[in-house]
Amino acid sequence: DAGITQSPRYKITETGRQVTLMCHQTWSHSYMFWYRQDLGHGLRLIYYSAAADITDKGEVPDGYVVSRSKTENFPLTLESATRSQTSVYFCASSGTTYGELFFGEGSRLTVL
Amino acid sequence: AQSVTQLDSHVSVSEGTPVLLRCNYSSSYSPSLFWYVQHPNKGLQLLLKYTSAATLVKGINGFEAEFKKSETSFHLTKPSAHMSDAAEYFCVVSDRDTGNQFYFGTGTSLTVIP
């Protein structure tokens, strides 16, 4: 189906392990984003990308790595997971500057 | 610096009564403003957006919002609440001075009482 999909939807891991959250969109949108959602903080931007091979840090990038070798994919990697990275992660895309964001359904990550 | 303040973390209304969710923003001259809705265990969905056209913006499901520059507000309203409106609502601002970044409020949880 067309749209933006995230995988896995649910993940439990242990402190120190590497975790990759996948994001795939079928619209060929230029812009893609990763947010984390925590109670009391709303959504906070981790990284964003304006096009393939162009990425930039957001508000809370520490401990995360992104890449964008293809327009449609924007994986987020936690190199060494910590308990503070327990959160719900949302990927989003946008076809235009300042335009509507389209969100995936989220990936719920628990770090034990 | 850009910021968004949602003045109520939780709002309860009875079914059939009006809804008012309040949002104030801090931004430069030409902000774009959005309201998103999030139902449990779902992603966010756009309700409506303001991008310097008409100051009264109509969205989906009977929602609307008015951009008031003098008050730096973008409150969300609906004349008559429905049970299906129960969700989390986010006010979002973006402006050209910050590049393509969106700043989210902390959300307002709407409860609709039957």
pLDDT at B88 over 80: yes
**Which of A42, A90, A98 is facing B32, going by the closest CB pair?**
A98
pLDDT at B95 over 80: no
- Residue B79 burial by Cβ neighbours in a 10 Å radius (0-12, 13-18, 19+): exposed
Q: Residues of B with CB below 8 A from A40's CB?
A: 106
pLDDT at B89 over 80: yes
Torsion of Cα atoms, A92 then A94 then A99 then A102, to 10°: -40
Q: How many CB atoms lie within 10 A of CB A10?
A: 11
Quick one: which H or E segment has residue A34?
strand A31-38
At A15 the pLDDT is: 97
B25 at interface of A, judged by CB pairs closer than 8 A: no
Count of residues in chain B: 114
B49 at interface of A, judged by CB pairs closer than 8 A: yes
Q: Residues of B with CB below 8 A from A41's CB?
A: 106
- Which of A38, A98, A108 is the best residue to mutate to test the B interface, defined by the most B CB atoms within 10 Å of its own CB? A98
State what percent of residues in chain B have pLDDT above 70.
Answer: 91
At A42 the pLDDT is: 83
**A26-70 pLDDT, tens per residue?**
999 999 999 999 987 889 999 999 899 999 999 899 999 999 999
pLDDT-based confidence at residue B97 (cuts at 50, 70, 90): low
Residues from A in contact with B at Cβ < 8 Å: 31, 33, 35, 40-45, 48, 50, 58, 90, 92, 94, 97-98, 100-101, 103-106
**Which of B96, B102, B106 is facing A101, going by the closest CB pair?**
B102
Q: What angle do CA A52, A106, A79 make, to 5 degrees?
A: 60
- What separation in angstroms does the CA of A106 have from each of A44, B16, B53, B67, B114? 14, 31, 32, 30, 29
At A33 the pLDDT is: 94
Range A10-27 average pLDDT: 97
**B21-44 pLDDT, tens per residue?**
999 998 766 788 999 999 988 889
